[in-house]
Structure 1
Amino acid sequence: MTGHFQVKLGVDVFFERDLSDLQGKRIGLLTNQTGANGELVSTIRLFHEHPELQLEILFAPEHGLLTNVKEGEKFNDATHRSTGIPIFSLYGQSKKPTDAMMEKVDIVVFDIQDIGARYYTYIYTMAYMMEACARMGKRMIVLDRPNPIGGEIVEGNFIDPDYTSFVGLYPIPNRHGLTVGELAAYFNEQFHIGCELEVVWMEGWNRRSFQTDNGLPWIPPSPNTTSLDMMLLYPGTCLLEGTNLSEGRGTTQPFEIMGAPFIDGEELQDNVNALRLEGIRARAIAFTPTYQKYNGQLCEGIQLHITDRQTFKPVESVVKILAVVAEMYAGKLEFLEYGKLRHPMIDLLAGNDLMRRGLLEGNIYPYLQQCSRDSEKFMKMRERYLRYR
């Protein structure tokens, strides 16, 4: 595959430089199938075949090295088939790298594609690795990649300290508008991780650009990451995971559709479109999920169609849509509780109980006001970490 790409990825910048300072260093690579250069050559292969680099260990985040494991499903350590290199699972016995794992390396390199939403666990696997590097005196190198939903727009609220979890470890908004490299720098300083961090920055990335503008091939970072529209909707539609509404898992359009057996799709479509939400239209649909919520049951609901990527607000839109559902189906909309969690799942996703209480009480504005206050605050806090303009 040849061609001129507008954006040069961190991994490509890294392999253009003199790597002799890494000779003799034992390298651990935290990656998955998205770790590939602009020509789609796997980062694992690039490291393994490089004469000066000694790749010792692979670390795999949620969904596994091949991103074929379902969400929330644990997996064990393994061996990489073509290289024989050990793979340590960071979504198995522990989500944090152990001292025993870290003793096998001198440097850890991170190369994973993020999708720009607070709930996406890869950024916390990165943060846990940074903590392990700080604890064990190891160096961390992050190979930067684009934020596929752009780096200008920020939306959402901070997580309250009591509501932190692996879908929200740090107080950053639902849509943060940072690249993984910028996030690593932000986490390292703002939250006093203090690891020896180097970010290999991209060349030619523009904050205003979306994934389809970068001239780069696209590799889905997880099984339900299907399209740019799905990623743009996700900072809002991921909140549905905390409810008894299907977020479309088990269909070909996860996070773009929503529904349940008790919903009348046309009525919901009309009530949502009556809100005149900016940059989005609802269309009535029916679907039958093949796994997860309502597996094998016919659901009605809506598909959310983005009409303007620049003005559309995923968090605000979905919260307002949930308020419509709560009003139309009072008593039928439920918030899921999982035995081992301290709070209902929706509170962990929303970062506090303000949204859930607002939906129950018929007043979501305190939550939306918090979102706009916090995102304004974050815009100022992140300013000094912005590498790209």
Structure 2
Amino acid sequence: MEKIFNPSGRCKIYQNYFRPVLGAAALIIFILSSSCGPGGQEVARPRVIKPGVKPGVEVFLEKHLDLVKDKKVGLITNPSGVNSKLESTAWLFKNHPAINLVALYGPEHGVRGEAQAGEYVPFYLDEKFKLPVFSLYGQSFKPEPGMLKNIDELMRKFDTQSSGKIPEENMVKGLDVLVFDIQDVGTRVYTYVATMALAMESCAELGIEFIVLDRPNPIGGKILEGAVLKYPEYSSFVGLYPIPERHGLTIGELARLFNDQFLKTKARLTVIPAEGWKRDWWFDQTGLPWVMPSPNMPTLETAAVYPGQVYLEGTNLSEGRGTTRPFELFGAPWIDGWELSRKLNSLNLPGVIFREAWFTPTFSKYQGERCGGCQLHVIDRESFRPFLTSLWIIQTVREMYSAQFEFHPDYFDKIMGNSEVRLALESGQSPEQIVNQLQAGLKEFDRLRQKYLLY
């Protein structure tokens, strides 16, 4: 049975609430582990893989091609825009007789996903697709020559600017519909959220329809964490609107919320939900293949720690960029990983164990320098709280290495969404105190988001 929601005539959401039973032979796979960590902590809970979750692109191609009939279509996508068979949305659209795809649009890292964080992505003509490819990450911004040697400085400057990231009229002129299909990671600072919001805003102003092909939130849709961004003082490309760091929404649900709450001119928005996803499912329970949505988001484990470890970008600690385990590894040349791991493990933080580690980044902070530090090992992702954990990492390093540790205050505050958390850490408040002070904002946001939920 299919329902069509059309609140105020502006936003249509298609959802199939009852999918056919896949058959008695459908497999539910339990991956069990009896291993325990120190203190008898459970190393891994049983993981149940749910068969048959359909991303929005499959639902769209099966049921809703009428939305683009006889229309010129643009597509915002990257390598994570694929169906369950790993066929790219761009290729499916280009080769579909009922879709007139006329242009591609790339977010940070580009349509092909090869550009590093903060790297300028230019306009080009794609030989494979025979289409123009417009950049929504710096079309009108060119880095200064000196900044090309310091990707971290470039990222901090570029991520907080909106110039060059809003589709200009000449980029979408002649389009009837702009479609968005990118895998988000459930974290406010991940720039694809802002790319979608700004594209939707541009389409609203130009009278172009906007369609979001929804995908599961890979870290689940129930847990909220972090600070609700202080708006508009801290609005930037790493956080446009007042939502928490870990917001518990899919990209389609975010589109609905943004359109209703924040866009001055409402977009002609249509959201095509995924089918079969439940809010408490992690990505590895969907049966869908993981495609890294950005160069430094290689695994689901990365996404699990990212809502906390991303704040290390606002410090002089390496967050593991330039290694094979970005955001899981962290450290600096002046850190003793053995001593730091002992101190962090003594805190008995929920769901995580710290292992001493040494690494040499191939790019980003401390390129070519041997760093001491730790690797986070999440042993129970249901109890693990990345925001609390990373506040403790920062506070512990501050205490142990007060002469060496530094904040990059402007950038830290931008990605945090306020200055209060940094000031609280500097004044010696405990991370638990800070987290408790943020609960009222999270509860208010939780009430706000309810009417935009699709699952």
TM-score by structure 1 length?
0.95
Q: 2:354 aligned with 1:296, yes or no?
A: no
Residue pair 1:163, 1:351 contacting (<8 A) in 2 also: yes
Bigger mean CA offset, 355-364 vs 248-257: 355-364
Q: Which residue of 1 aligns with 2:259?
A: 188
Distance 2:90 2:292 in 1: 17
Report the secondary structure of 1:67's partner residue.
coil
Name the amino acid aligned to 2:313.
Answer: E
Q: Which residue of 1 aligns with 2:186?
A: 116
1:370 Cα deviation from its structure 2 partner: 3.4
Name the amino acid aligned to 2:415.
Answer: L
Instruction: Give CA-to-partner distance per residue, 1:192-214, whole Å, 9 cap, x none.
Output: 35101000011100111111111
Find 1:329's aligned residue among 387, 401, 410: 401
Find 1:346's aligned residue among 394, 412, 430: 412
Q: Which residue of 1 aligns with 2:284?
A: 212
Residue pair 2:290, 2:300 contacting (<8 A) in 1 also: no
Q: Which residue of 1 aligns with 2:236?
A: 165
Bigger mean CA offset, 4-13 vs 72-81: 4-13
Q: Which residue of 1 aligns with 2:442?
A: 375
Distance 2:219 2:64 in 1: 32
Distance 1:131 1:21 in 2: 20
Distance 1:171 1:22 in 2: 32
Q: Which residue of 1 aligns with 2:212?
A: 142
Unaligned runs of 5+ in 1: 337-342
Q: 2:314 aligned with 1:248, yes or no?
A: no
Q: Which residue of 2 aligns with 1:67?
A: 113
Identity of aligned residues (%): 47
Name the amino acid aligned to 1:253.
Answer: R
Instruction: Give CA-to-partner distance per residue, 1:47-76, whole Å, 9 cap, x none.
Output: 111112111111110000111000011111
Name the amino acid aligned to 1:86.
Answer: P
Q: Which residue of 2 aligns with 1:340?
A: none
Distance 1:135 1:20 in 2: 23
Find 1:51's aligned residue among 93, 97, 111: 97
Q: 2:407 aligned with 1:361, yes or no?
A: no
Report the secondary structure of 1:176's partner residue.
coil
Residue pair 1:27, 1:107 contacting (<8 A) in 2 also: yes
Distance 1:332 1:163 in 2: 27
Report the secondary structure of 2:108's partner residue.
coil
Q: Structure 1's 5 and 334: CA in aligned 2 closer, same or farther, altered over 3 A?
A: same
Q: Which residue of 1 aligns with 2:83?
A: 37
Q: Which residue of 2 aligns with 1:274?
A: 346
Distance 1:82 1:283 in 2: 45
Report the secondary structure of 2:375's partner residue.
strand
Unaligned runs of 5+ in 2: 1-26, 28-49, 141-163
Q: Which residue of 1 aligns with 2:36?
A: none
Distance 2:206 2:64 in 1: 26
Name the amino acid aligned to 1:190.
Answer: Q
Name the amino acid aligned to 1:53.
Answer: I
Find 1:284's aligned residue among 343, 348, 356: 356
Find 2:171's aligned residue among 93, 101, 111: 101
Bigger mean CA offset, 307-316 vs 21-30: 21-30
Number of residue pairs the alignment of both structures matches: 380
Distance 2:304 2:114 in 1: 22
Report the secondary structure of 2:254's partner residue.
helix
Q: Which residue of 2 aligns with 1:177?
A: 248
1:384 Cα deviation from its structure 2 partner: 1.1
Q: Structure 1's 21 and 204: CA in aligned 2 closer, same or farther, altered over 3 A?
A: closer
Report the secondary structure of 1:235's partner residue.
helix
Distance 1:120 1:361 in 2: 28
Distance 1:172 1:212 in 2: 25
Report the secondary structure of 1:167's partner residue.
coil
Q: Which residue of 1 aligns with 2:377?
A: 305
Residue pair 1:156, 1:374 contacting (<8 A) in 2 also: no
Q: Which runs of 4+ in 1 moved over 6 A?
A: none
Instruction: Give CA-to-partner distance per residue, 1:236-266, whole Å, 9 cap, x none.
Output: 0000000000000001100001100111111
Bigger mean CA offset, 237-246 vs 269-278: 269-278
Name the amino acid aligned to 1:318.
Answer: S
Alignment RMSD: 1.5
Distance 2:331 2:67 in 1: 55
Residue pair 1:327, 1:362 contacting (<8 A) in 2 also: no
